[in-house]
Amino acid sequence: MSEVKLFSYEEVAKHNTRNDLWMIVSGKVYDITPFVDEHPGGEEVLIDEGAKDATGPFDDVGHSDDARELLEKYYVGDVDPASEPVTIQSATNTVASSSAPQGNALRIIVPVLLILGWVYFRFYA
């Protein structure tokens, strides 16, 4: 019998793209990359929950026994119990932390100029 391969949370976190996506469910590591296109709930949910421990969200959805059985096809190893969970920084969750106002100033300047132009030509031309 072959020995089970152990992966740290850090190593799983490196597999966080659509073309290389791993997920942890109940202490087991799965390479779900080939399943991204087939997932009935869409690829976004897998990408959002991928590269980390997704046990909670997986259980919350109430996956069928067939879904759990299908998951075994993508099994690559177990989570190293000595490793610590890491925080995943997702590109879709990053927000500018500047205190400066956000947005385009033209959306205010253009209407004001149009109104001023209209007033000028209406009353002074």
Strands (E), 4-64: 6-7, 16-17, 20-25, 28-31
* Bridge partner list, 36: none
Give pLDDT < 70 ranges for the chain.
Answer: 1, 88-103
pLDDT given for residue 101 in this prediction: 60
CA distance 60 to 92: 23
Residue 24 is predicted with a pLDDT of 95
3 state DSSP class of 110:
helix
Say how far apart CA 58 and CA 62 lie, in whole Å: 7
Residue from 1, 29, 3 nearest 15 by CA:
29
Residue 94 has a pLDDT of: 46
